[in-house]
């Protein structure tokens, strides 16, 4: 089969050869519409830059790309540790892409996909940052993709994944609060419509309904998955006319924000207000008070998602697309107690 030249790509995209080269090597210097045209032309022609072609004649690049929302998130630190423990042992290296919903990083990931500069892509609680259309057009040329943690896009639902049962874990956490005597339980979630905490909110609502407990308007508050967002959400809940006695947070970072807001309001946790987290990040045990939370096995998720990725690279595609469910665990500490009398 005749190798496609960069000139062919340039002619199909209606740009110069130099522009094609910049799209591959320095995409930030090229306008978005031009980048899209060039990347579509690369997909249509099957063009591979010479350096990448040499790597693939050898078999692999021995690089795996990991895409995640934030490298500073302590939960993802544990997942990355698990991924590294597996890929390092097999002679692979990682490329880390922190999206923060940043278009430039998304373009870089897209270029990695269409020019095959990595053997596979692991998405950790992230959408595919270059859009599902590229996945569809790439077809068999696309590298394996494996999802770690939540699948947060319907377009990614068919890819192999490793995660806990988020609905079941949140239902168990809510039931624990109920077992302590709480009937007025609020939930702090991500932004409206976000899939990041969708299943956890569903588990919370299911447990409330199963116990015959109402969820008044305003008891599901948006915390933006951040300390500041959770502080604002907690302040709103404490001002609610039907003030909750317990707050269940969709992640531990928001639970830490809730603890701060409670202290700022002069409340004692758990005497005046109980707070439940989710994830069991490394700061949870050293919070004041130590945080009761639902633990995810971060390193195990990383190990399993890396193993599935390497298996897919070896086979040339994902041989098993079923979701792998790993166990969650309730961790009881000091931030939850009975409701105030």
pLDDT at 152: 63
pLDDT at 247: 98
In the structure encoding, which two tokens stand for residue 316, read together? 């040339």
Question: For the ranges 97-101, 137-141, 195-199, which has the lowest average pLDDT?
Answer: 137-141
pLDDT at 318: 60
Query: What's the pLDDT band for 22 if we cut at 50, 70, 90?
Result: confident
Residue 318 CA to residue 75 CA, distance in Å, equals: 26
* Section 9-38 average pLDDT: 83
Comparing C-alpha atoms, which of 225, 179, 234, 180 is closest to residue 200?
225
Whole-structure pTM value: 0.78
61-164+297-326 against 166-295: fold identical? yes
For 241-263, what is each residue's pLDDT tens digit? 999 999 999 999 999 999 999 99
CATH number of the domain located at residue range(s) 1-47 in this protein: 1.10.260.40
For 277-336, what is each residue's pLDDT tens digit? 999 999 999 999 999 999 999 999 999 999 999 998 888 666 677 889 999 999 999 999
Comparing C-alpha atoms, which of 200, 198, 336 is closest to residue 259?
336
* Section 175-202 average pLDDT: 91
Give one DSSP letter per residue of 73-121, joined into a string. -HHHHHHHHHHHHHHHHTT-EEEEEE-TT-HHHHHHHHHHHHTT-SSEE
Phi first, then psi, for residue 339 (nearest 5°) are: -65, 155
pLDDT at 320: 72
Domains of the chain by residue range: 1-47, 61-164+297-326, 166-295
* Section 187-195 average pLDDT: 83
* Section 147-169 average pLDDT: 84
In the structure encoding, which two tokens stand for residue 15, read together? 């740009």
Query: What's the pLDDT band for 139 if we cut at 50, 70, 90?
Result: very low
Residue 43 CA to residue 254 CA, distance in Å, equals: 42
Average pLDDT of the chain is 85
pLDDT at 280: 96
CATH superfamily of 166-295: Response regulator (3.40.50.2300)
Beta strand ranges found along 107-215 (DSSP E): 120-124, 145-148, 161-163, 185-189
Does residue 215 register a pLDDT over 50? yes
Q: Who contacts 220 (Cβ-Cβ below 8 Å, separation ≥6)?
A: 186, 187, 188, 189, 201, 204
Query: What's the pLDDT band for 56 if we cut at 50, 70, 90?
Result: very low
Question: For the ranges 95-109, 149-163, 201-215, 255-269, which has the lowest average pLDDT?
Answer: 95-109
Q: Which fold has domain 61-164+297-326?
A: Rossmann fold (3.40.50)
Q: Which residues pair with 93 in a beta bridge?
A: 63
* Section 79-103 average pLDDT: 83
Q: Is 176 helix (H, G, I), strand (E, B) or coil?
A: helix
Q: In angstroms, how far is the first alpha carbon of the chain from the final one? A: 79
């Amino acid at each position: 089969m005749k190798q496609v030249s960069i000139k062919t790509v340039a002619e199909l995209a209606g740009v110069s050869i130099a522009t094609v080269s910049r799209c591959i090597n320095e995409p930030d210097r090229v306008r978005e519409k031009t980048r899209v045209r060039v990347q579509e032309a690369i997909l249509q022609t099957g063009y591979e830059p010479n350096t990448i072609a040499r790597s693939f004649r050898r078999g692999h690049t021995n690089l795996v790309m990991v895409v995640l929302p934030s490298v500073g998130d302590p939960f993802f630190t544990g997942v990355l540790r698990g991924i590294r423990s597996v890929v390092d042992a097999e002679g692979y290296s990682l490329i880390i892409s922190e999206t923060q919903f940043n278009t430039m990083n998304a373009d870089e990931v897209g270029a990695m996909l269409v020019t095959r500069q990595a053997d596979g892509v692991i998405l950790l609680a992230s959408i595919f940052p270059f859009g599902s259309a590229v996945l569809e057009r790439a077809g068999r040329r696309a590298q394996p993709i494996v999802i770690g943690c939540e699948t947060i896009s319907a377009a990614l639902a068919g890819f192999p994944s490793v995660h806990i049962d988020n609905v079941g874990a949140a239902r168990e956490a809510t039931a624990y609060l109920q077992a302590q005597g709480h009937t007025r339980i609020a939930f702090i979630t991500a932004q409206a419509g976000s899939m990041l905490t969708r299943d956890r909110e569903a588990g919370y609502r299911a447990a409330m309904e199963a116990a015959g407990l109402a969820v008044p308007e305003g008891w599901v508050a948006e915390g933006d998955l951040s300390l500041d967002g959770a502080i604002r959400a907690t302040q709103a809940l404490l001002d609610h006319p039907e003030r909750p006695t317990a707050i269940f947070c969709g992640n531990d970072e928001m639970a830490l924000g809730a603890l701060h807001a409670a202290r700022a309001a002069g409340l004692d946790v758990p005497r005046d207000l109980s707070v439940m987290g989710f994830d069991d990040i490394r700061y949870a045990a050293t919070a004041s008070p130590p945080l009761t939370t639902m633990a995810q096995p971060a390193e195990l998720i990383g190990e399993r998602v890396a193993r599935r990725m390497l298996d897919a690279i070896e086979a040339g595609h994902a041989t098993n697309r079923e979701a792998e469910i790993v166990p969650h665990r309730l961790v009881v500490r000091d931030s939850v107690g009975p409701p105030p009398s």
